[in-house]
């Protein structure tokens, strides 16, 4: 009988380059493969599993709702959606929310909101609205979203691309100010870039961007799909600078690690541009998603997972910085959102991840140079200590091989 790896390679489009491990179950911070080998998960499915695998409270909410009512579409009201959206608005400080499923859908929702707001509220000439984005951005892989990526491979042979976007340097508030024109509707930014390599902008950047946007009647829209909901050591990465964005995009961890749940949140005048027929999703805001999302948010708040992320992240960063290796070019992070950059002249992040996998630690490279370390927020200090030992020994092995050659 063919293994899961063989079947997936035969029947699944090869749009990913996964590590060669076939996972069959998960619990807490651990995963097991088809041979029952145990792994410490340092990836959290790109922040989607912040609560840990099969979190009992999330699973219980899923089971109870699945046995009651799952999907009816937004053609009708349900008893779960309103309470879920109120909780999300209370936690984030936003006025209203539009529920979707995947992060990319929520980004598309934000783009539509910004453009329509630009025309109907700001008075931009029809079809002239422009949205500013950043170098190194990653907001998803739909046709519109790849149109404003600066990663050539994401765009290759997928044209014609969607117009209406301008790319400016990430972390440079002066570049934002210089790029704004009367046609600028919004500035879409990741407070911390995840897929870009765990890139943290200079201190004060987001606050300055907010001031610039306010002065020019431009919406500041924060994509916190990866860095939000406790991942960076605060509930939102924007909170590090006490910035309240005009629009906010959430996903991944909002689904509690069991299903896709996302949303675009914004102040009321922005959300009021949506009227019946202007946007929608059959599955968005379904009772099952609402029950799961409610449980996920309640756990984040009640278990103070953002504070835990801050404390465990500070500890992990301190321990990583004790590692003496010529392979390490940089170590950076906020909370449990950490990147270890490997000197490309001395090794690859992929090799580091493959060697860690052999030792029972799962991570994944970002581009070719950064090892992403973003475990579930429930990780303990003892589990971090074990992970640090594996990372140190792998880097030592690679240093020895490199120096011997």
- Output the CA–CA distances (angstroms, integers) from residue 265 to 32, 186, 334, 374, in the order listed: 36, 15, 23, 25
Local structure of residue 98 (DSSP, 8 states): E
Strand, helix or coil for residue 313: helix
Of 257, 312, 254, 306, nearest in space to 55 by CA: 257
Is 299:378 a contact under the CB 8 Å cutoff?
no
Dist CA 257 CA 261 (whole Å): 10
Is 134:169 a contact under the CB 8 Å cutoff?
yes
**Phi/psi-derived region of residue 15, left when phi > 0, alpha when psi is between -120 and 50, beta in every other case:** alpha
Using CB atoms within 10 A of its CB, is residue 360 exposed (0-12), middle (13-18) or buried (19+)? middle
Dist CA 156 CA 345 (whole Å): 27
What are the backbone dihedrals phi and psi of residue 120, each rounded to the nearest 5 degrees, phi first?
Answer: -90, -25
Is 175:167 a contact under the CB 8 Å cutoff?
no
**Other C-beta atoms lying within 10 Å of the C-beta of residue 405:** 5
Largest CA distance in the chain: 68
Cα angle for residues 81, 62, 30 (degrees, 5° grid): 130
Using CB atoms within 10 A of its CB, is residue 159 exposed (0-12), middle (13-18) or buried (19+)? exposed
Element (H, E) at 270: helix 268-271
Tokens describing residue 144: 């519109």
Is 149:138 a contact under the CB 8 Å cutoff?
yes
Local structure of residue 118 (DSSP, 8 states): I
Dist CA 264 CA 88 (whole Å): 10
Point out the residues that are catalytic.
138, 223, 252
Burial track 115-124 (b if 16+ CB lie within 10 A, e otherwise): bbbbbeebeb
């Amino acid at each position: 009988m063919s293994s899961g790896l063989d079947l997936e390679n035969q029947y699944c489009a090869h749009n990913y380059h996964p590590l060669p491990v076939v996972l069959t179950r998960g619990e807490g911070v651990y995963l097991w493969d088809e041979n029952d080998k145990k792994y410490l998960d340092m990836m959290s499915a790109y922040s989607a599993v912040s609560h840990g695998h099969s979190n009992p409270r999330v699973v219980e909410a899923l089971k109870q709702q699945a046995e009651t009512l799952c999907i009816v579409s937004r053609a009708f009201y349900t008893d779960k959606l309103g309470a879920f959206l109120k909780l999300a608005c209370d936690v984030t400080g936003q006025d209203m929310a539009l529920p979707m499923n995947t992060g990319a859908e929520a980004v598309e929702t934000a783009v539509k909101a910004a453009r329509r707001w630009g025309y109907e509220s700001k008075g931009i000439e029809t079809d002239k609205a422009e949205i500013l984005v950043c170098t190194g951005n990653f907001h998803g892989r739909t046709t519109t979203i790849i149109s404003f990526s600066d990663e050539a491979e994401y765009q290759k042979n997928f044209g014609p691309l969607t117009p209406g976007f301008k790319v400016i340097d990430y972390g440079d508030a002066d570049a934002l100010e210089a790029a704004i024109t009367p046609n600028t509707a919004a500035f879409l930014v990741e407070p911390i870039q995840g897929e870009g390599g765990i890139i943290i902008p200079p201190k004060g950047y987001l606050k300055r961007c907010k001031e610039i946007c306010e002065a020019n009647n431009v919406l500041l829209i924060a994509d916190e799909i990866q860095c939000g909901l406790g991942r960076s050591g605060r509930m939102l990465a924007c909170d590090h600078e006490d910035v309240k964005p005009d629009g906010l995009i959430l996903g991944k961890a909002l689904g509690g690690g069991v299903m896709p749940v996302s949303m675009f949140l914004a102040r009321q005048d922005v959300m009021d541009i949506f009227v019946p027929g202007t946007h929608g999703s059959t599955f968005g805001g379904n009772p099952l998603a609402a029950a799961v999302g409610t449980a996920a948010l309640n756990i984040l708040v009640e278990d103070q997972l953002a504070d835990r992320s801050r404390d465990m992240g500070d500890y992990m960063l301190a321990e990583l910085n004790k590692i003496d290796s010529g392979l390490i070019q940089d170590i950076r992070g906020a909370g449990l959102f950490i990147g270890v950059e490997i000197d490309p002249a001395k090794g690859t992040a992929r090799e580091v991840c493959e060697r860690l996998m052999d030792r029972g630690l799962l991570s994944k490279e970002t581009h070719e140079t950064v090892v992403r370390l973003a475990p579930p927020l429930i990780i303990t200090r003892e589990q971090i200590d074990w992970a640090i030992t594996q990372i140190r020994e792998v880097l030592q092995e690679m240093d020895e091989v490199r120096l011997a050659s």
